[in-house]
Structure 1
Amino acid sequence: MAYEALDNLQQTLDLILEHRDYFLTHSAKQEIISIRYQSIALQLNLKHYPNKERIREAASKTHEIIEHLFSDKEIKPAIRLAIRLRELAARLESIVGDVVDCINGNGSASSLEPTVGDVVDYIKLGNDSDVSSSSRSAIAIVGVDKDVKVIKDRLLVESSRLWVLPIVGTGGIASTKGISDAKSDIPMENLIYDYLKRRRYLIVMDDMWSKKAWDDVKMLFPDAGNSSGIIVTTRLQDVAAYVDSSNSIHNMSLLDSHQSWNLLKRKVFGYNDIPIELEDIGFKIATNCGGLPLSLVMAAGLLSKIPIHNRDSWKQIAADSGQLETIICSSYTHLPNHSKPCLLYMGGFPEDYEIRVSELINLWISEGFVTLSNGSKSLEKEAEDCVEDLVERSLVLVTNRKSDGKIKSCSLHDIVREFLVRQAAKEKVILSVMDYLPTPILRKYFVPRLIKDHHIISASSYDLHLKDYGHSSHIRTIICIPKKGYRYVGFVEKFSSLRVLHVLRRNDHWDWEPGQVFDLVHLTYLASNIPNSIVPSAISKLQNLQTLVIYRSEVRLPMEIWRLRQLRHLIAFSFQPLPNPEGEKNPLQNLQALSLAMDFVCSKRMVEMIRNIKKLGICYSKEKLDGDASYCLNNLKYLFELEKLKLEMHVDSSCIEQESEMPAREDFSFRGLNFPINFPLQLRRLTLGGWRLSCSVMTIIGSLPNLQVLKLRNFACHGGYWVTSEGEFRELRYLLIDGSYLAYWTTEASHFPRLEC
C-alpha cells in the first residue's frame, strides 16, 4: 500500500542520516532530507489524492534506488551520489506538484504543505543511543501556517551575520510534547563559545522572562559569519524588543476553529474515523479552547481517556469555558483517585526540572501513594503505569526514554505546574515554599507560619536552615533544593518525624552531621550527598529505610547495611567492595536494586542475601580481577529474579592498543578467572562493558530466552568475527555495539526475529 511504501522509504532515509555521516557530504545530506520531506508531504495528503497506486510505485522505486546507492561496499563518488539523489528528489517533487494541482482543482481546503506540527510527528529527533527509533522522543510545534512560514523563511535565508528571531506569544501557544533530552559535555562558557565558533548552529531558547537572562547568555554565541541563528520565545513584548531591535519580532497567531478541530481530532482519534454523534460536540470543545494549542492538547489528553460512547461526558466538557485552567482542572478531576496525589507531588520539583522517573517512583512508594491492584506484579510496575497514564493525558511531558521505550525522565509544562502548586497546597499534599514566598526576606519571616498545616514541603536548603521552626516536628517529607554556593551545616535535627529526605541531584556540597540524619529513625527514603565516602555504622538505626541513594563515588558501607530489612534500593555512583555478609543470618528479602558495586564478590552467601534482586550493577578493575577466582561470578545464575544486569570491567586505557593485537579469548577467562557464562534465564536487559570476550560468547547470550535489550560497550567483545545462528536472540528488541574490533558479522534477519533497533 502507498502509506506503507512511504513509511518504509522514510525509515531507510532515517537510518542513512543517523549512521552514514562519515561519508555523506553536506549536499548529499540535504538531498536526502529533501526526499524525506517530499515523502512526508505525500503521506499526509494521501487520502486526498485518488491515484494512490502512482504514489506507491514512486515510493517503492525511490526506496529501491536508495538501497542500491547505499548497498555497495564502495560508496559512489560524492559528486555522483549527490547528483543521483537530486534526481530522485526532483522526481518526487514533481509528483508533489501534481498532487497539489489535483487537490486544489477539487476545491479541497487541505493544503499540501504540512504544518511543522504535522511533519515532526513523523520525524524522530535526538541522538541518544539509548533511544530506539520506534520510541524516540519528538518535538511537536503546533501553529498557524503563516507562523510556520515566517519561521521557515527565516531559517532558509542565507546571511553572513548571526541572526536573532524573537517570537512572542501567550503561554501554551507553541505546544511541546516529549522534548528530546539535550545533553552537553561542555561545562564552561568559553568552551561553549569555542565549540560553536567552529560550527554553523541554531540555538532555540524557550520562554525567556527577563532582559537580564538575555544579557547573561548572549556572549556565548559567536558571530562566525556563516548564517548561524538564535530563536528566542517569550511572553513579554519588551523582552523580545530588547533581544532584537531590528523590528524582526514575530507575534504568534492563535488557531482558528477549523484548525483547532483538526488538531483535536488528530490527537484524539489519529487517522481513524470519528463517530458522527461526536462531530458537533468535538467542534464546540475545540472552538472553546480559544485557538491555544496547549489547551487543545490538554483537552485531547482528557478526551482520549473517555469512552467514545460516553457522549454525556463530552457534553459536560463542551459546556465548560474551554480555557486552559478549566481544562487542566477537568483533566485533574477525571484522574483516578490514586493518581491525584502522585501528580500533585510533582509540583514540588522546581520549574523546568527534569525529573528522573526512577527517583519519582521510589518517592511515590515511600510516601504510600502507590498500592498494589488486583493482578499487579509490584509497586514499581504500578507506579510506572501511573507515569505512562499521566503522559497519555498530556499532563506530563516525556524528556527522555530508555532503549525499551519506557520513560526515563519527564517534566511539567510551567502552566500545568502552576495549577499543581496551587492545588497541592489547597489539598495539603505538598507545599512549594519558594512558589508561595518568592523572596528570601518573605520566607525568613513567614515560612514557620506557612508550613504549620503541611506535612510535605519543598524548599531551598537555605530556607530549611532557618532557626525559628516551632512547628517543624510534624514535617514528614522534605524535597530540598540546593542553593548554589551555600554550604549546608546541620538542620535536620529539627524535623524529628521526617520520613523522606530527597535532596535534588546537583553539583553543590551537602554538609551535615551524619549523626543528625541517622537519629531520624522514621526515615524510609534518603537521597543526598554525604560529607565523605564513609557511611557510619549508625545507619543501623534506620530500620524503616527503603531507599538509600548517595550522590558520591567509592562509598564505603558498614556491616550494618545487612541489617536494614526493609531496604529496597541501594544506589550510589559507586560502592567500594561490600562488607562480607557471612556472619549475618537474615537476607535482605526486599532488596530490588543494587548499583554500582565495585569488585563484587558473588559468593553463595552474598547471593542468598540479595536473592530477590531485580536490578544489579557491578564493576571490576582488571588489575584486581586477574588471577583471582574468588569473585565467584558464576553464582550470578542463582539470582532467579534478576531482570537487569550491568557488568563492567575497567581496563587501563593504555592497555587497549596492546590488547587489540592479541587473539580473542575462546575460554571466556582472564588468566584463570571463569567468566559467568550461565546468566539468569529471566534476564531482560544486559549491559557488558570492557570485558574483551570472544564474539562466540554471543551464542551463550543469544540463548537467553527473555533477553530484550543487549548493550556491548567499550570492547565488551574482542574479536573480528561474529556468526549468528537460527534460534538465537528470539526476544531481542534492541542491540547496541559501541566500541569493538568487529570486522565481519554474518547473520540473517531470522536470527533476530523481533529486533527493532
Structure 2
Amino acid sequence: MAYEAVDSLQQTLLLILQRHDDHVITPTVKQQIVSIHDKAVVLQFNLKRFPEKETIREVANATEEIIEYLFSPQNLSDNGSIDPTVKLSYQLGKLAEKLESTVGYVIDHCKMKDEQIARALVDENPSDSPSIHPTTIATDRDFLVGFDEDIIQLRSRLIGHDGRKVLPIVGMAGIGKSTLAKYIYDDPFITFHFDIQAWVTISQDYSTASILSQLRASVKAKADGVGRELLKEIEAEDVEILQILWGRRYLIVIDDMWCVEAWDHIRWLFPETTSGSNIIITTRLIDVATYAATSRYIHMMHCLDEEQSWRLFQHKLFGDQDCPLELQTVGKKVVKGCGGLPLSIVIVAGILSGIPRTPNLWQQIEGNDGKLGTILSLSYNHLPPHLKECFLYMAGFPKDYEIHASELVKLWVAEGFLECQKFKCVEEVAEECLEDLIKQSLVLVTSRKSDGKPKSCRLHCMVRDFCVRHAGQENILLSVMDYFPTHILRRHFLPQVLQNHHCISVSWHDLQLRDSTHSSCTTSIICIPHRGYRPKGSVENFTSLRVLHVLRRNDHSYWELGQVFELINLTYLASSISDSIVPPAISKLKNLQTLIIYRFGVQLPVDIWRLRQLRHLIAFSFHPLPLPKGATPSLENLQTLSMATNFVCSERMMDMISNIKKLGICYSEEKFGAGYHIDNLIHLLKLEKLKLEMHSSFVPRLKPVFPPSLKKLELSGEWISWRDMTIVGSLPNLQVLKLKNYACSGEHWETIEGEFLVDN
C-alpha cells in the first residue's frame, strides 16, 4: 500500500537521524536527511488526492531502498580514494533533487485537480480530470513510455554479481536503445552503486584515440564533485583509463556499436578483475551483441503498443494536458502510422507542433520524414550489395503484410540475387541472408518454426517506407501502388512504368487493363489480389516474364493458364488456378524452378516429369503423382514436394526424386496398406524434413523405417506404436519431432536412455 510505503520511509529516516555517529551523521548529512523526510511528509499529505497511488508506493520504496544502501557498511567503507562523508553528502543531495522533482509533479497535479473542481462548481458542469500516466520517478528527462519492465530487468542485472559483465541492448533504429541506456545511466540508484561511470558513442566511423578521449571526458564529467583524488587521476595525462578503472566498480555505456572489431579494439580498456562492474552496449546488430555479451542474456527492445504510443505522442505535443477531442481521431491515425517506433512518434509530434492544430492539416502529415530516413540509411549502407538487393526487394509486399519466409527465400533465388556457396545450396544461402537482415534489425520476425528458423516476417512500416523509396530509386523494384496510390494515376502511368522497370509490385485489378499491360521489359511481377475481386488475370503481353508471384490470400483470383504456359522464360510461378486439372502444356515451361499452387486436389499431368529444372513443387494437396511409362530422366533438382496425396513410394519413384530434402504426404484412402511401400522412404538419403498425415479409417500396425538424414519429422494419425518409438529415437540427426492427432498408438511411452542424443 502507498500509505504504508511512505510511512516506512519516514520511519527509516527518523532511525538514521537517531544514530549516534557524528563521523557519519554530520550537520550537512543531518540537514539533507531532514529535507528528504519533509518531502516524504508532503507525499503522504497529498496521497489521497493523487490518482496513481502505485507510483507513490514505488517512489517511496525505491527511496527507502537507496537510503538503506547509502548508510550500509558497504557504501560507507573507505576505499582509499574518496572521503566516505563527502561521497555520502553528494549522494544524498542527488537523491533529494530527484525526490523534489517527484514531489513537484504530485503538487502540480493536485493543484490542477483543485482548479478543475473549482471551475466545475462555478460552471455546474463537472469535467473529467485528465488521465495521468507517470511512469518513472523522473520528470525532468524525456518521457519514457513502455520501458517500465525494461528498466526493472536492466537494473536487476547490473547489481549483485561478481566479475565484469557486458550487457547488450539490441533493436532497430529509433526504437529507444540509447534512451533506455541513458535513463539507466542517470538513475540515482545506479549512480550511487558505481564508483565511476562513462558514456562513449562509437558509430560506424570510430578511432581508438577518439574513444579514449570520450572516456576521459565522460568519466571526469560524471565524477565531478565526488572526490578530489579521483579527479586528479583523471586530469593527469600520463594516467591511462585502465589505471583509473582498476579496483573501482564502474559502469560504461558504449552506444551505437556496429562491428565486432570495434569491441576488440577497446575491450582491453576495461579491467575484468573489478567485481560488480558493467558495460552496456547498444547496437542494431545481434551478431555484435552475441559476440560481446558475457552471458546468454541480450536485452531485446520492442515497439510500443497503441496505448503507449498515444501517451508518448500526447506528452511530446501537449505536455501534461490531453489532446483536444477534435484532434484525437486523426491524431490516433497519425500515431498508428508510426508503428510503435518511439523516434518516429517524437519526430511526428515535432512536425505537428510547428503547424496550426486543425484536423485537416494533421491529416496531411505522414509518419516519417528525412530524419528517420537518415538514421535508417546507416543500417542500409552497412549492408553488402547482395543483402541490399534482398532487402529492397521486400518493398514489393504490402504494408503490414506477413511474409512467408520460405516463399521469400524462393523469390530471392528466382531473381538470381544469390549464388551457391561451398557445401551450401542457394536456398541455404538465402535463409542465411534473411537471418542477417533480422540480425541487422531491419526485418522483424513474426513467428518462428520449431527449429528456431523464421517462419514469417514483416517490415516495420517506417522501414518499409524507406525500403519502397530506395527500391524505386535504385531500380530494384517499383511498388506501383505506393508511387501511384489511386487507380486513376495507375491507369495513366502504368504503361510508361511497365516499359521502364524490370520488377514491379502491382494490384491484380491493374493487370486487367489490357490496353496498358504490354511490356517486353518487365521480368518480375508481385501481384496483390483484392479481396472479393475475382476476374481472370491477363499476362499474355509480358513476354519476358520470369517471376510471377501472387500473394497468398483468401480469394480465388487466377490466371488463364493458356497465357501462363506461353511465358517460356518463367522460372517461378505462385498462384491459384482456375481448374484443379493442370494441362500437359505446362511442359512448355522448361526453365520453371518453383511451382506453388494455392489449391487443394491439384491433378498434375505426367508431363510434369519433363520439367528438369524444377526445385520446388508445392500445393495445398496433389492427387497421386502419375509415373511416366518407359525410361524417363529423374527430377534430380527437386528439393520440395508437398503435399502429395496417397503417394506410392515405389523404388522407381524414390529413384525419380532421389535428391529431395522436404517431403509431405497425406494418405486418405479408406484402407491403407503395404501397397504404398512406405519403407522405401529409407532410400531418400538426402531427406531432411518429412511430414506424414493419415486420414484412413483402417490402418494396419506399422513399423516404418526412416532415413538417417532426417532432421525434422511430423506425424499425424496412427503411424507407429509407443513401443516402437525407439525407431524415431535412434535417428542420429533428428532435431524436431511433432506428434499430432493420435500419431502413436498405445497408452503410454516409456522412453529409453540413449535415445534422442543429437547435439543441437
**Same fold per superposition (TM over 0.5):** yes
2:255 & 2:600 partners in 1: Cα distance? Answer: 45
Letter in 2 for 1:335: L
Compute the TM-score of the two structures, normalised by the length of structure 2. 0.56
Does residue 635 in structure 1 map to residue 559 in structure 2? no
Letter in 1 for 2:374: T
Change over 3 Å in CA distance of 1:600–1:325 after alignment to 2: same
- Aligned pair partner of 1:483 in 530, 540, 544: 530
1:457 & 1:99 partners in 2: Cα distance? Answer: 60
The alignment partner of 2:431 has SS state of helix
Does residue 684 in structure 1 map to residue 711 in structure 2? yes
The alignment partner of 1:630 has SS state of helix
Shift of 1:469: 3.0
Does residue 397 in structure 1 map to residue 424 in structure 2? no
Letter in 2 for 1:508: D
Does residue 647 in structure 1 map to residue 695 in structure 2? no
Does residue 308 in structure 1 map to residue 263 in structure 2? yes
Assess if the C-alpha contact under 8 Å between 1:301 and 1:393 holds in 2: no
Shift of 1:682: 1.1
Does residue 573 in structure 1 map to residue 528 in structure 2? no
Which residue in 1 is equivalent to 2:374? Answer: 326
Q: How does 1:185-196 map to 2 (within 5 A)?
A: none
Letter in 2 for 1:630: G
Letter in 1 for 2:738: K
Letter in 2 for 1:642: L
The alignment partner of 2:721 has SS state of coil
Shift of 1:378: 1.1
Greater C-alpha Rg: 2
1:597 & 1:460 partners in 2: Cα distance? Answer: 31
Letter in 2 for 1:334: H
Letter in 2 for 1:697: D
Assess if the C-alpha contact under 8 Å between 1:400 and 1:410 holds in 2: yes
Letter in 1 for 2:591: N
Assess if the C-alpha contact under 8 Å between 2:491 and 2:516 holds in 1: no
Which residue in 1 is equivalent to 2:741? Answer: 714
Which residue in 2 is equivalent to 1:258? Answer: 182
Assess if the C-alpha contact under 8 Å between 1:144 and 1:255 holds in 2: no
The alignment partner of 1:474 has SS state of coil
2:640 & 2:559 partners in 1: Cα distance? Answer: 26
Shift of 1:103: 5.1
Change over 3 Å in CA distance of 1:254–1:343 after alignment to 2: closer
Which residue in 2 is equivalent to 1:529? Answer: 576
The alignment partner of 1:594 has SS state of strand
Change over 3 Å in CA distance of 1:466–1:262 after alignment to 2: farther
Shift of 1:716: 0.6
Which residue in 2 is equivalent to 1:553? Answer: 600
Superimposed CA distance per residue, residues 537-589 of structure 1 (whole angstroms, 9 cap, x where no aligned partner):
11000010000001111111110111110000001111111112453521101
Q: Return 5+ residue gaps in structure 2 as ranges.
A: 1-59, 76-90, 99-134, 150-168, 188-197, 219-253, 267-280, 285-368
The alignment partner of 2:644 has SS state of strand
Change over 3 Å in CA distance of 1:681–1:328 after alignment to 2: same
Change over 3 Å in CA distance of 1:710–1:507 after alignment to 2: same
Which residue in 2 is equivalent to 1:516? Answer: 563
1:651 & 1:342 partners in 2: Cα distance? Answer: 43
Letter in 2 for 1:567: L
Q: How does 1:613-624 map to 2 (within 5 A)?
A: 613-621=660-668, 623-624=670-671
Which residue in 2 is equivalent to 1:42? Answer: none
Change over 3 Å in CA distance of 1:266–1:586 after alignment to 2: farther
Assess if the C-alpha contact under 8 Å between 1:528 and 1:551 holds in 2: yes
RMSD, aligned α-carbons: 4.2
Superimposed CA distance per residue, residues 55-77 of structure 1 (whole angstroms, 9 cap, x where no aligned partner):
xxxxxxxxxxxxxxxxxxxxxxx
Greater CA drift, 399-408 or 375-384? 375-384
Compute the TM-score of the two structures, normalised by the length of structure 1. 0.56
Change over 3 Å in CA distance of 1:696–1:437 after alignment to 2: same
The alignment partner of 1:308 has SS state of helix
2:479 & 2:136 partners in 1: Cα distance? Answer: 33
1:504 & 1:304 partners in 2: Cα distance? Answer: 36
> Matched residue pairs, number?
473
Seq. identity, %: 51
- Aligned pair partner of 1:603 in 631, 650, 659: 650
The alignment partner of 1:507 has SS state of coil
Change over 3 Å in CA distance of 1:604–1:567 after alignment to 2: same
Which residue in 2 is equivalent to 1:369? Answer: 417
Which residue in 1 is equivalent to 2:402? Answer: 354
- Aligned pair partner of 1:434 in 464, 469, 481: 481
The alignment partner of 2:408 has SS state of helix
- Aligned pair partner of 1:424 in 466, 471, 475: 471
Which residue in 2 is equivalent to 1:409? Answer: 456
2:255 & 2:631 partners in 1: Cα distance? Answer: 55
The alignment partner of 1:361 has SS state of helix
Q: How does 1:327-342 map to 2 (within 5 A)?
A: 327-342=375-390
1:100 & 1:523 partners in 2: Cα distance? Answer: 69
Q: How does 1:23-102 map to 2 (within 5 A)?
A: 101-102=67-68
1:391 & 1:267 partners in 2: Cα distance? Answer: 26
2:561 & 2:733 partners in 1: Cα distance? Answer: 43
Which residue in 1 is equivalent to 2:751? Answer: 724
Letter in 1 for 2:546: R
Assess if the C-alpha contact under 8 Å between 1:347 and 1:421 holds in 2: yes
Letter in 1 for 2:182: H
Superimposed CA distance per residue, residues 702-735 of structure 1 (whole angstroms, 9 cap, x where no aligned partner):
11111111111110111122222221110176xx
Change over 3 Å in CA distance of 1:143–1:531 after alignment to 2: farther
Change over 3 Å in CA distance of 1:469–1:682 after alignment to 2: same
Shift of 1:268: 11
Assess if the C-alpha contact under 8 Å between 1:702 and 1:728 holds in 2: yes
Shift of 1:416: 1.1
Assess if the C-alpha contact under 8 Å between 1:348 and 1:458 holds in 2: yes
Which residue in 1 is equivalent to 2:547? Answer: 500
Letter in 1 for 2:624: P
2:449 & 2:146 partners in 1: Cα distance? Answer: 35
Letter in 2 for 1:259: Y
Shift of 1:484: 2.0
Q: How does 1:166-315 map to 2 (within 5 A)?
A: 255=179, 258-259=182-183, 278=211, 303-304=258-259, 307-309=262-264
Q: Return 5+ residue gaps in structure 1 as ranges.
A: 1-93, 112-141, 154-174, 179-251, 286-298, 656-669, 734-757
Superimposed CA distance per residue, residues 98-121 of structure 1 (whole angstroms, 9 cap, x where no aligned partner):
86555566649999xxxxxxxxxx
Superimposed CA distance per residue, residues 514-558 of structure 1 (whole angstroms, 9 cap, x where no aligned partner):
111111110000000111211111100001000000111111111
Assess if the C-alpha contact under 8 Å between 1:268 and 1:304 holds in 2: no
1:428 & 1:624 partners in 2: Cα distance? Answer: 56
2:500 & 2:265 partners in 1: Cα distance? Answer: 40
Assess if the C-alpha contact under 8 Å between 2:498 and 2:517 holds in 1: no
1:256 & 1:675 partners in 2: Cα distance? Answer: 57
Letter in 1 for 2:552: R
Greater CA drift, 724-733 or 707-716? 724-733
Change over 3 Å in CA distance of 1:490–1:731 after alignment to 2: same
Shift of 1:489: 1.8
2:217 & 2:498 partners in 1: Cα distance? Answer: 43
Letter in 2 for 1:705: P
Assess if the C-alpha contact under 8 Å between 1:575 and 1:596 holds in 2: yes
Shift of 1:327: 2.3
Letter in 2 for 1:402: K
Which residue in 2 is equivalent to 1:666? Answer: none
1:517 & 1:456 partners in 2: Cα distance? Answer: 17
